[in-house]
């Protein structure tokens, strides 16, 4: 029996249940509908759109098929809206519980921006493929994927292979200008695992394991598809070498009211935006 991984946020009393933990362990993800309220998502969207720091530090990611996705990556959350959005109990605390309950820290956050008609694809990959190389010994890591625009099949929503995290770390090879999971493995995996298109509304959140195979298509529609993404690591999995993402750095989780109460849009000190040349996974061109 396939365990259901779809849940609904309850603002009157949110707790990570055994059913959610089993679903995460079994399927490699859970989808939580309405984790962020309309007011919270409006605040986050406005902050992302008006942050000079985010726009200045964005760079393009070519997909090898004449399209590209822009993205901006930063390592430390900071006290501004985009830093606070990663840390409420319902975001960071939920990921902590799903990863087993030990202390986690913020590994990085990013915004991926697929513009209408031009937004690029991401080939099938596991996040742990990159993070393994950074000196993370264990796949005790996860991502929270939170669209700030409606994310549909038409504009390039996330696709996953349910349960593929159980394959362990898959070899990755150059595919076009990206590093992607070995296509032979992906094709075989597709025969035995469900291939799901995760359509999401702004406010929904997908929590997924770092070995879950995922991809997303080009945006050929007239609708923008921007997503806010936060990635976490366990303190016990402190990477053994210094690299372009942080080693263990304590993270303060925040009450669920924090995002609505935060009015700082531009707080750039110490956010440690990643530079285009620090990312070795794909061919990239500077946006600005």
Residue 227 touching ligand AKG (CB under 6 A) = yes
Cβ 184 to ligand AKG shortest distance, Å: 21
Cβ 15 to ligand AKG shortest distance, Å: 28
Cβ 112 to ligand AKG shortest distance, Å: 4
195-198 and 122-125: which strand pairing?
A: unpaired
Helix, strand, coil percent content, the chain, rounded in steps of 5: 25, 30, 45
Q: What are the tokens at 259?
A: 């995002």
Could you say which DSSP state residue 104 is in? E
Single out the residue of 40, 96, 127, 204 in contact with ligand AKG (rule: CB under 6 A).
127
3-state secondary structure of 177: coil
Cβ 12 to ligand AKG shortest distance, Å: 31
Residue whose CB is less far from ligand AKG, 148 or 251: 148
Whether the CB-CB separation of 247 and 238 falls below 8 Å is answered with: yes
Distance between alpha carbon 55 and the CA centroid of its chain, in Å? 18
Size of interface with ligand AKG, in residues (CB under 6 A): 7
Q: What are the tokens at 121?
A: 């694809």
Residue 216 touching ligand AKG (CB under 6 A) = yes
Whether the CB-CB separation of 61 and 71 falls below 8 Å is answered with: yes
Residue 63 touching ligand AKG (CB under 6 A) = no
Residue whose CB is less far from ligand AKG, 79 or 182: 182
**Mask of contacts with ligand AKG, 107-126, x by CB under 6 A?**
-----x---------x----
CA-closest candidate to residue 126, choices 209, 13, 228, 250? 209
Residue whose CB is less far from ligand AKG, 82 or 112: 112
Residue 181 touching ligand AKG (CB under 6 A) = no
Residues 6+ apart with CB under 8 A from 131: 107, 141, 210, 233, 245
Cβ 141 to ligand AKG shortest distance, Å: 12
Query: Which residues contact ligand AKG (rule: CB under 6 A)?
Result: 112, 122, 127, 158, 214, 216, 227
């Amino acid at each position: 029996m396939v365990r259901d991984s779809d849940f609904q946020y309850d603002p009157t009393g949110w707790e990570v249940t055994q059913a959610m933990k089993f679903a995460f362990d079994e399927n490699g993800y859970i989808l939580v509908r309405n984790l962020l309220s309309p007011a919270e998502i409006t605040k986050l969207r406005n902050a992302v759109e008006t942050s000079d720091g985010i726009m200045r530090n964005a760079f393009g990611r070519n997909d090898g098929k004449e399209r590209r996705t822009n993205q901006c990556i930063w390592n430390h959350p900071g006290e501004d809206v985009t830093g606070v959005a990663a840390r409420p109990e319902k975001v960071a605390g939920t990921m902590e519980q799903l990863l087993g309950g030990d202390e986690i820290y913020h590994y990085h956050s990013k915004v991926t921006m697929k513009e209408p008609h031009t937004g690029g694809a991401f080939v099938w990959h596991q996040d742990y493929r990159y993070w393994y190389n950074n000196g993370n010994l264990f796949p005790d890591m996860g991502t929270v994927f939170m669209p700030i625009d409606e994310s549909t099949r038409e504009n390039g929503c996330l696709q996953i292979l349910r349960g593929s995290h159980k394959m362990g770390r898959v070899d990755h090879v150059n595919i076009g200008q990206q590093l992607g999971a070995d296509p032979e493995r992906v094709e075989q995996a597709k025969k035995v695992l469900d291939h799901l298109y995760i359509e999401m509304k702004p406010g929904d959140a997908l929590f997924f394991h770092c070995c879950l195979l995922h991809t997303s298509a080009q945006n050929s529609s007239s609708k923008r598809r921007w997503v806010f993404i936060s990635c976490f690591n366990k303190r016990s999995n402190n990477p053994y070498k210094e690299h372009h993402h942080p080693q263990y750095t304590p993270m303060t989780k925040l009450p669920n009211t924090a995002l609505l109460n935060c009015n700082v849009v531009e707080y750039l000190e110490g956010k440690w935006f990643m530079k285009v040349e620090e990312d070795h996974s794909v061919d990239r061109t500077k946006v600005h």
